[in-house]
């Protein structure tokens, strides 16, 4: 019986093969499970090819929809129109239309030719370029490394500039070099891609771009690009792949610099807790991270070993746990050098200069010392740990469309404000009062007059703004380091401000270093004051005058400061720098929802 079944099965298979061959079909090994009519039936062959082409085009259109929808907030009118056309074509498919639309879809490779699909870039009349004619473009914001020595105090909150916007911004900056408003304006020769970030961490998930793609576009337009990295998690495949691509296109003169250090909170905590097992685990992870970076870039990278400074570790009371982090850093670097040498990879070092030193007096490093109880100045240490963090006054193009002017320059108030009877000083005094008394009633409110005073003070609060660094200075540093000033301001009646007390406050604060241009009066308001006499005493009455703000009031072709940096140009005064800085903060691109 089994034999009969076997013969019947073979006969059935033979009959099916005859029918199959008689229909003029053949099997295509290139397209799995697809039979394409060939030979005599030309109509059916053409129909199948069209079906095959249509399937491929539909996939391209579907991908195009995903890309354009991913960029929905930055599409121009033309881009939005293209998206609608593709969606309509997928709904009511037409091969000829589909082929034409597919050619217009932006990809990583053709993005330069498709930039008209995206919103435009609007630069201000003047591009301020300092520090070797550099402009800082923050292609990505935030950083998961969370180095304890990060002065800008980066967050684990990530923003990435859309790749099309990055290209349009680079084009706009490059074109501005040929449209200078005066000979005093410097050419923009290089782009600084870092500010509270690690540039190599850039990514655009919509189009699949990484930092190597940004770099490739930058060097088409600018000669020099400075890149400093603190490394990346070896599990981050986007950065790993981008770094490997970057090596193949890196210009010889554009050496990457690696900020090599072991100042990380997990290691600090493990050392504080004497958890040797955890210390060893973190040590291996950090060592592997830095070794991986050096192996990827080989001879195209220079190490910046972060240094405590010659005197710092010897300061009385300096936290021993930070010194232990530094000792582990030096040990790891020695081991990595030996291991790489056995693989014929040379380790190069950047020129030793002040950039190697950790600036412990500013930003997150200062916060670390404060938390560890190292709060007081030690006499004679001004040239080491308390040295200047370096002068900075420059544009930063944020990834979400904001254009800001950033400075970390500190100055003594008495150098620029010469009297207590000065609007700048009175604004400063008012803001200090507001911050130091935040969230509590300043006046007891035992009467309607006290309630009115609090209402007026809160009104003042809404008219003044401050940088985070300046706010922190007022909130944390003043009470801890300047108790006499803190007590005076806490007791100060800003609604009935005695002139003698304002002058006393000026004497206490004039020699204190504060973050440069740390506060501003908001657009549309200006502080007014009047000297009045009450019961034989001089009082200063404060009020706000409203006005219609001009557009870029301090910047014109004829009236532009050559520099706003008082360190390099002592003639520049506080008011001039303040006005110019205030006027330069704009939005350089907007989305369909406004600024991102």
Cβ pair 70, 77 in contact under 8 A: no
Q: What does the alpha-carbon distance between residue 335 and residue 60 come to, in Å, rounded to a whole number?
A: 50
Q: What is the pLDDT of residue 575?
A: 43
Orientation of helix 423-436 relative to helix 483-491, angle to 10°: 90
Nearest to 145 by CA among 197, 194, 211, 195: 197
Tell me, letter by letter, the H, E, C secondary structure of 320-385: HHHHHHHHHHHHHHHHHHHHHHHCCCCCEECCCCHHHECCCCCHHHHHHHHHCCCCCCCCCCCCCC
DSSP classification of residue 196:
S
For 591, phi then psi, to 5°, come to -100, 180
Q: What is the secondary structure of 413-478 as a DSSP string?
A: HHHH---SSSHHHHHHHHHHHHHHTTTS-SS--SSHHHHHHHHHHHHHHHHEEE-HHHHHIIIIIH
CA 306 to chain centre: 22
Question: 3-state DSSP call for residue 45?
Answer: helix
Task: Report the run of H or E that residue 498 belongs to, with start and end.
Answer: strand 497-498
Q: What is the pLDDT of residue 300?
A: 85
The two structure tokens encoding residue 356: 């190697």
- Residue 192 pairs in a beta bridge with 136
Distances (CA, A) of 230 to 226, 364, 461: 14, 16, 39
Q: What does the alpha-carbon distance between residue 238 and residue 199 come to, in Å, rounded to a whole number?
A: 13
Task: Report the run of H or E that residue 203 belongs to, with start and end.
Answer: strand 203-204
The two structure tokens encoding residue 298: 């080989």
Q: What is the secondary structure of 89-138 as a DSSP string?
A: HHHS--HHHHHHHHTT---TTTGGGGGGGB------S----BTTTEEEE-
Q: What does the alpha-carbon distance between residue 579 and residue 88 come to, in Å, rounded to a whole number?
A: 51
Report the alpha-carbon angle 260-368-406, nearest 5. Answer: 75
Q: What is the pLDDT of residue 378?
A: 40
Among left, alpha and beta (phi > 0; psi -120 to 50; other), residue 124 is beta
Q: What does the alpha-carbon distance between residue 360 and residue 313 come to, in Å, rounded to a whole number?
A: 12
Question: Nearest 10 degrees: CA dihedral of 112, 115, 116, 120?
Answer: -130
Ranges of residues in the chain with a pLDDT under 70 are 1-53, 125-133, 177-187, 224, 309-315, 352-355, 359, 361-363, 375-395, 405-412, 415-416, 437-447, 449-450, 452-454, 456-473, 476-477, 514-526, 544-586, 592-596
Report the alpha-carbon angle 348-351-353, nearest 5. Answer: 140
Distances (CA, A) of 276 to 268, 270, 283, 285, 377: 12, 7, 10, 14, 32
Q: What is the pLDDT of residue 379?
A: 37
Q: What is the pLDDT of residue 377?
A: 46
Question: 3-state DSSP call for residue 198?
Answer: coil
Question: Nearest 10 degrees: CA dihedral of 12, 17, 18, 19?
Answer: 90
Report the alpha-carbon angle 580-585-586, nearest 5. Answer: 130
Neighbouring C-beta atoms of residue 79, cutoff 10 Å: 22
Nearest to 410 by CA among 362, 471, 459, 368: 362
DSSP classification of residue 205:
T
């Amino acid at each position: 019986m089994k034999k009969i079944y076997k013969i019947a099965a073979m006969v059935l298979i033979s009959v099916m093969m005859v029918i199959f061959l008689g229909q003029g079909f053949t099997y295509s090994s290139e397209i799995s499970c697809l039979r394409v009519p060939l030979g005599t039936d030309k109509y059916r062959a053409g129909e199948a090819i069209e079906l095959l082409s249509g399937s491929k085009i539909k996939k391209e259109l579907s991908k195009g929809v995903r890309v354009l929808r991913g960029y929905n907030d930055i599409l121009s009118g033309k881009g939005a129109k293209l998206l609608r056309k593709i969606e309509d074509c997928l709904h009511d498919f037409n091969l000829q239309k589909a082929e034409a639309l597919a050619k217009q879809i932006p990809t990583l490779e053709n993005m330069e030719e498709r930039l008209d699909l995206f919103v435009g870039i609007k630069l201000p009349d003047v591009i301020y370029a300092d520090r070797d004619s550099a402009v800082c473009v923050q292609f990505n914001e935030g950083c998961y490394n969370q180095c304890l020595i990060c002065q800008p105090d980066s967050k684990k909150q990530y923003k990435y500039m859309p790749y099309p916007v990055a290209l349009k911004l680079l084009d706009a900056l490059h074109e501005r070099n040929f449209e200078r408003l005066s000979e005093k304006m410097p050419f923009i020769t290089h782009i600084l891609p870092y500010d509270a970030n690690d540039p190599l961490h850039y990514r655009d998930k919509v189009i699949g771009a990484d930092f190597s793609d940004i770099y490739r576009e930058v060097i088409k337009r600018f000669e020099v690009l400075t890149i400093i990295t603190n490394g990346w998690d070896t599990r981050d495949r986007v950065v790993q792949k981008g770094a490997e691509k970057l090596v193949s296109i890196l210009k010889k003169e554009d050496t990457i610099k690696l900020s090599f250090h072991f100042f990380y909170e997990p290691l600090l905590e493990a050392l504080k807790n004497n958890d040797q097992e955890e210390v060893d685990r973190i040590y291996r992870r950090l060592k592997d991270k830095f070794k991986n970076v050096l192996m990827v870039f080989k001879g195209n990278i220079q190490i910046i070993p972060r240094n405590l400074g010659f005197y710092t570790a010897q300061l009385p009371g300096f936290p021993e746990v930070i010194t232990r982090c530094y000792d582990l850093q030096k040990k790891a670097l020695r081991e990595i050098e030996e291991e790489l040498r056995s693989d014929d990879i040379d380790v190069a070092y950047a020129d030793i200069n002040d950039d190697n030193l950790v600036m412990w007096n500013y930003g997150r490093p200062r916060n670390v010392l404060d938390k560890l109880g190292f709060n007081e100045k030690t006499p004679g240490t001004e040239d080491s740990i308390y040295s200047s963090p370096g002068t900075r006054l420059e544009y930063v193009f944020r990834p979400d469309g904001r254009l800001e002017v950033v400075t970390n320059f500190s100055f003594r108030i008495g150098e620029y404000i010469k009297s207590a009877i000065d609007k700048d000083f009175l604004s400063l005094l008012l803001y200090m009062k507001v911050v130091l008394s935040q969230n509590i009633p300043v006046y007891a409110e035992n009467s309607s007059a006290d309630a009115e005073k609090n209402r007026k003070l809160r009104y003042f609060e809404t008219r003044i703004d401050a940088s985070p660094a300046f706010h922190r200075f007022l909130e944390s540093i003043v009470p801890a380091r300047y108790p006499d000033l803190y007590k005076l301001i806490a007791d100060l009646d800003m609604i009935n401000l005695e002139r003698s007390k304002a002058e006393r406050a000026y004497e206490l604060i004039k020699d204190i270093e504060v973050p440069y241009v740390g506060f501003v009066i908001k657009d549309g308001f200006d502080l007014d004051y009047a000297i009045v006499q009450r019961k034989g005493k001089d009082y200063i009455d404060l009020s706000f005058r409203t006005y219609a703000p001009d557009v870029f009031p301090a910047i014109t072709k004829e009236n532009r400061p050559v520099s706003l940096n008082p360190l390099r140009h002592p003639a520049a005064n506080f008011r001039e720098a303040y006005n110019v800085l205030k006027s330069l903060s704009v939005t350089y691109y907007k989305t369909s929802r406004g600024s991102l």
